[in-house]
Amino acid sequence: MFKMNWKRKIYYALNPKLRRSLRRVYYWPIDVWEGITGQRDAITPPKGKIFIGPGNFKALGEKLRSDFIQYGGLQAHHRVLDIGCGIGRIAIPLTSYISQEGSYHGFDIVEDGIEWCNSRIHPKFPNFHFKHIPLRNDLYNLASSDKAENFQFPYPDQSFDFVILTSVFTHMQDKEVAQYLKEISRVLTTGGTCFATFFIIDENSEKFLKASATPFFAHDYGHYMLHDQKVKDANIAYKMAYVNEMLQDTQLNIKAFHPGWWAGRSKKDSVDFQDVLILQKQ
């Protein structure tokens, strides 16, 4: 379905800060033009500042909002926590959905994104809040030595009704994922929901990888698989049995599993490219 091409190799080889700087230079003409012509609204970041995933930034955000409502049961009055909020791809479409009775909190390890959100989104929507958490990740942030496996979320117990992680667990090591699942369980209200995307290795995706001449996840570490051994946080897939094992240390249960189309499944029958787990706190 996807393979390690030369562009991806170069992308992974670059320092995260250099990667973002080159992106700003590359998109500078487009960003200037869109700014002059008014093609970009005030809370949508320029293309050069976006550092999370490919595709249409605005359209993907609106699609995710729809998925949260349809598959996760997100409601307008909910208190939302967006883990790995980036530069507002999810926050922006939620500004027109979350009511004054609800709230949004997001945190991310990339300071540039948080600065943008705090300067552009929070002033217009004061119930939307953003925090920079300087944790180390070899794909996004090499400037810190603090590890996610030791991180406690800066929020009280049972603070949120709905927790979101899109393309977050796909870039985290096993101990980090286990810690975050415990913290999600702690900050969720009883009956609260977590919408999380993964790369899950189940029977079907394992067959797909074995049949591939150039499998995207080629390095098997038992309960998880890596795409790149040098940049380990680039893409990580977890065996479903191990995900269930990690959940045993929490109050979270799998309410629904929606396999993605990354492993050869039909796109029209999938919610997302990545696998989606809907978790609910007992």
pLDDT confidence tier of residue 129, bands split at 50, 70 and 90: very high
Amino acid identity, position 194: C
pLDDT confidence tier of residue 93, bands split at 50, 70 and 90: very high
pLDDT confidence tier of residue 144, bands split at 50, 70 and 90: confident
Give me the mean pLDDT over the 217-238 stretch.
Answer: 92
Rounded-to-integer distance, Cα 125 and Cα 141, Å: 28
User: What does residue 24 show for φ and ψ, rounded to 5 degrees?
Assistant: -65, -40
* Predicted pLDDT at 145: 87
On the question of pLDDT at 180 being above 50, the answer is yes
Domain boundaries, the chain: 52-281
User: 193 near 280, Cβ under 8 Å?
Assistant: yes
Give me the mean pLDDT over the 77-83 stretch.
Answer: 98
Query: 52-281 maps to which CATH number?
Result: 3.40.50.150
Give me the mean pLDDT over the 9-30 stretch.
Answer: 79
This prediction's pTM: 0.93
Amino acid identity, position 246: M
pLDDT tens sequence across 183-227: 999 999 999 999 999 999 999 999 999 999 989 999 999 999 999
Regarding beta strands 128-132 and 103-108, do their DSSP bridges make them parallel or antiparallel, or are they unpaired? parallel
pLDDT tens sequence across 131-141: 999 999 887 88
Cβ contacts of 228 within 8 Å, gap of 6 or more: 4, 12, 219, 234, 235
